[in-house]
A = this chain, B = another copy of it.
Amino acid sequence: MGKKLTSRAEDYSKWYNELVIKADLAENSGVRGCMVIKPYGFAIWEKMQAALDRMFKDTGHENAYFPLFIPKSYLSKEASHVEGFAKECAVVTHYRLKNADDGKGIVVDEDAKLEEELIVRPTSETIIWDTYRRWIQSYRDLPLKINQWANVVRWEMRTRLFLRTAEFLWQEGHTAHATEKEAVEEAELMMNVYAEFAEKYMAVPVIKGTKTESERFAGALETYCIEALMQDGKALQAGTSHFLGQNFAKAFDVKFASKEGGQEYVWATSWGVSTRLVGALIMTHSDDNGLVLPPKLAPIQVVIVPIYKGIEQLEAISEKVHPLLNDLRAKGISVKYDDRDTHKPGFKFNEYELKGVPVRLAIGQRDLENGTYEVARRDTLQKESVPAENIVAHIEQLLEDMQKNIFERAKQHQQTHITEVDSYDEFKAVLEEKGGFISAHWDGTAATEEKIKEETKATIRCIPLHVKNEEGKCVVTGKPSPYRVLFAKAY
């Protein structure tokens, strides 16, 4: 385990980096910017995937798989799209290695140069819309609602485990519709699915809204997003859903015969969330002792640690524990009995605290005599003694309570960190001293947005959904503004 975690107050960024490593979630690999997701971190991602995949299927989507590589020419068909991604693309130029004649080991075989370079997908709109041209002929082929679980690559210069990596895992939904209205509804639906997932599974409260033009996805007419707030007062974009209009349909010539008999371009959406969510999860709930995980996404929900001297005591405890393991598993609760003889209980307590196991049961000689378990909950670190006969029901209830409690705690933090300001000075002061979301009037221009970003590093996170009309003046230019938007520094 090594030495204690740096505290959040001391250095939030260092705390995060250490926690990811110490809790065995992920680590850097020998490939610049690419991480290795370790089994414990991957188990969290698997739980996220399972819940999201169910939600996608329940809303009528099917999974499919499209190629990793995109011909360079495809990428350039949609002008703003190529502009957004060209500068961070990994490019495959050759398909063979050979032994160098000069004994330098293996080198790229220049004879095996590709006629057209291939891009490792940074996102798949282009290869998918090239495919949809073959799949869509008639209104009967619509809507087409497909999702893909995949790895993508964006050559980022500064990377951080989970938050920003050159390769990351994600899902990308790509849908095609006969009407603009239907496509907009789909983009909104998926934003809502993401928000529901964030709040119900991750216990992360989010604000729903739309992006300003300069913050939109390259190729989108509207980008819907969910924005979360981390404990250090910085925002994190947790999911986006794009209304793409007919941009990709036009770029790839995807038309359909309408009911009325005409030929029309198809309307599109795309939407995605990534392994970045694991970073958001860590930063929202965890504390100076380690991870705090919502029970619904915890790989291990309950750990049982025996406290004993000698094999006889251990056997007596194990005899009591084994039926409990079965009872908990029968309820769908994942439980681990850590009867390793190589580590002391104190060491194990620290380890499971660091790894964020929601509920820890300890059972020693006195508990055996009294017919109790010592139950510790990870979120509040509170302990209590619980009669063995109630233990299963107690744990079930506790897991539910914890799921709610950590959401409420995060919601409380979010709510107390949305500050309305009416001057630029106040804007800067709040940003500096308190952080969080700043609700302010803005004149609607990209120039002012850019000026604020340059001077304060804050960006417009979103124009909140159902924003209330309120005449006001831009905090920078004093020009009229019809409603407030949310600013924050962001990950």
Contacts and interface: CB of A to CB of B under 8 A. Distances in A.
Contacts of A95: 88-91, 155
Interface stretch (A25-33, A233-241, A284-292): A25-33
A279 to B, nearest CB: 15
Nearest to A34: B67
Given A43-B63, A93-B108, A31 B70 contact: yes
Interface string A152-173: 0101000000000001010000
Q: Interface centre among A66, A70, A150, by most B CB within 10 Å? A: A66
A150 B68 CA distance: 11
Contact of A68 (B34, B73, B118): B34
Contacts of A342: 140
A485 interface: no
B62 A43 contact: yes
Give the interface SS of chain A, mostly helix, strand, loop or mixed: mixed
Nearest to A130: B30
A448 interface: no
A155 B43 contact: no
A92 interface: yes
B31 A69 contact: yes
Interface string A71-86: 1111110000010001
A120 interface: yes
Interface residues on chain A, size class: 35 or more
Contacts of A30: 71, 74, 127, 130-131
A120 B105 CA distance: 18
Given A30-B127, A31-B70, A65 B42 contact: yes
B97 A67 contact: no
A151 interface: yes
A117 B117 CA distance: 15
A106 B155 CA distance: 17
Contact of A93 (B42, B94, B155): B94
B67 A42 contact: no
Given A90-B94, A92-B92, 17 more contacts: A29-B130, A30-B127, A30-B131, A31-B70, A31-B118, A34-B69, A42-B62, A46-B63, A68-B151, A69-B90, A87-B96, A88-B95, A91-B95, A92-B93, A93-B94, A108-B117, A151-B151
